[in-house]
Amino acid sequence: MAIRKMTDLVGSTPLVEVEGIPVPHGSRILAKLEMWNPGGSVKDRLGIRLLEDAFERGLIDEATTIIEPTAGNTGIGLVLAAKKFGLQTIFTIPEKFSIEKQVLIEALGGKIVHTPTGDGMKGAIEEARALQRRIPNSYVPLQFENPINPSTYYETMGPEIIQDLEGGRIASFVAGAGSGGTFIGTSAYLKEQDDRIRTAVVEPEGSVLGGGPAHDHETEGIGMDAMPAFMNAGQFDSVYTISDGKAFHYVDELAKKSGLLVGSSSGAAFAACIEEAAILPPGSTIVTIFPDSSERYLSKNIYQKENQKI
Ligand code: PMP
């Protein structure tokens, strides 16, 4: 077997058919297992590209400190990618996000600055900018505005899905949005291949895409207080707003019936796929993304029964 480098392990994740849970109209749901990435999430793809791009554009050098607001997974992706270049990293993280992601960031050598949960991602973004003003030679890639974010998924996730399907047709692509990069980049690529593919974005209750009021939620990694710069309503055919109870219900089902250990954003994505299957012709294929693993949320009692009320 060929010897590989860590950075070679990012991407080329498996696309699996989710078995064991009945899908309306005999359709099938295929999921990209992003916990297969070396840092354990979909954001490893982004970490390396954000840094490569900043070097290519002359925005950073070997002595730059990277600062980024994150719910945790982008932090893990960036701190791993930073090893390649020997860069220091600081992450601004709202307090509520899981301790496991934060422990992993620190284990990998990243520093963490907490921001109040009530200030949301906006608070973490403001804190990152404040740190940037104070720390000489520092750089904030800012996933929420950086066009490299959607283009990373356009260049990697989209082509991988088409390759994995080996000529098979998909009816819908359904995926969650936090920064929106995964959804926007992947759906743009898929629509270019076949403009009949429906694209549906998934958010938790408390996120603003479907038009409801912004409020806190337990589902981690997806949901937004404002539409990101690179996203607009013309880029999706539907929005599924999924309650925490439903997301956690499917986290449990996916473990017990399908043997898949997934985080709550995957549970929400799967719940949306089930709703999508109900409006598609029989025998359709739906592709979704499972962004990370439940092992990242065990301290939050992800499998506790009272979470799972539909
Ligand atoms: N799920 C999880 C667990 C995440 O950490 C993220 C990234 N915040 C997403 C989904 C959504 O990815 P994106 O930022 O590309 O919309």
Place of tokens 């799967």: 270
Percent of the chain past pLDDT 70, that is, above it, reads 98
> Is residue 305 very low, low, confident or very high in pLDDT (cuts 50, 70, 90)?
low
Instruction: Indicate which atom in ligand 1 lies nearest the CA of residue 72.
Output: 5
In the beta sheet, which residues pair with residue 136? none
Cα–Cα distances in Å, from 181 out to 74, 125, 239, 283, 303? 11, 17, 16, 29, 28
Confidence of residue 48 (pLDDT cuts 50, 70, 90): very high
pLDDT for position 216: 86
Tell the residue nearest (CA) to atom 2 of ligand 1.
Answer: 221
Residues 236-261: pLDDT tens digits? 999 999 999 999 999 999 999 999 99
Q: Are 172 and 286 in contact (CB under 8 A)?
A: yes
pLDDT of residue 29: 98
Residue 177 Cα: closest atom of ligand 1: 16
Q: How large is the C-alpha radius of gyration of the chain?
A: 18
* CA 176 to ligand 1 center in whole angstroms: 7
196 pLDDT more than 70: yes
Mutation pick for ligand 1 pocket among 32, 42, 297 (CB with most ligand atoms within 8 Å): 42
Which residue's structure tokens are 């979470």? 307
Q: Quick one: pLDDT band at residue 235, thresholds 50, 70, 90?
A: confident
Domains located in the chain, CATH noted: 6-36+148-300 (3.40.50.1100), 43-139 (3.40.50.1100)
Question: In this predicted structure, what is the pLDDT of residue 6?
Answer: 87
Decide whether any atom of ligand 1 lies within 6 Å of the 43 Cβ.
yes
Query: What is the total residue count of the chain?
Result: 310
User: Could you give the residue numbers annotated as active site?
Assistant: 43
Band (pLDDT 50/70/90 cuts) for residue 228 is confident
Instruction: State the pLDDT confidence band at 1, using cuts at 50, 70 and 90.
Output: low
Q: Is 148 in the pocket of ligand 1 (CB under 6 A)?
A: no
Contacts of 166 (CB under 8 A, 6+ apart): none
What separation in Å is there between the alpha carbon of 125 and the centre of ligand 1?
A: 16
- pLDDT tens, residue by residue, 282-303: 999 999 999 999 999 999 989 9
pLDDT at 106: 97
Give the DSSP per-residue string, 199-216: EEEEEEBTBSTTSPPP--
| pLDDT more than 90, % of the chain | 86
pLDDT tens figures, 85-136: 999 999 999 998 889 999 999 999 999 999 999 998 899 999 999 999 999 9
Whether the predicted pLDDT of 279 surpasses 70: yes
263 Cβ inside 6 Å of ligand 1: yes
Whose Cα sits closest to atom 7 in ligand 1? 221
Distances (CA, A) of 203 to 116, 134, 212: 22, 35, 11
What lies within 8 Å, CB to CB, of 266 at 6+ separation is: 31, 250, 251, 254, 260, 289, 290, 291, 292
Question: What are the residues whose beta carbons fall under 8 Å from the beta carbon of 1, sequence distance 6 or more?
Answer: none
pLDDT digit string, tens, across residues 207-224 = 988 888 888 899 999 998
Indicate whether residue 247 lines ligand 1 (CB < 6 A). no
Q: Is 118 exposed, middle or buried (0-12, 13-18, 19+ CB in 10 A)?
A: exposed
H or E element at residue 93: strand 88-94
Q: Which atom of ligand 1 is nearest to the CA of 149?
A: 15
Two tokens at 295?
Answer: 């092992």
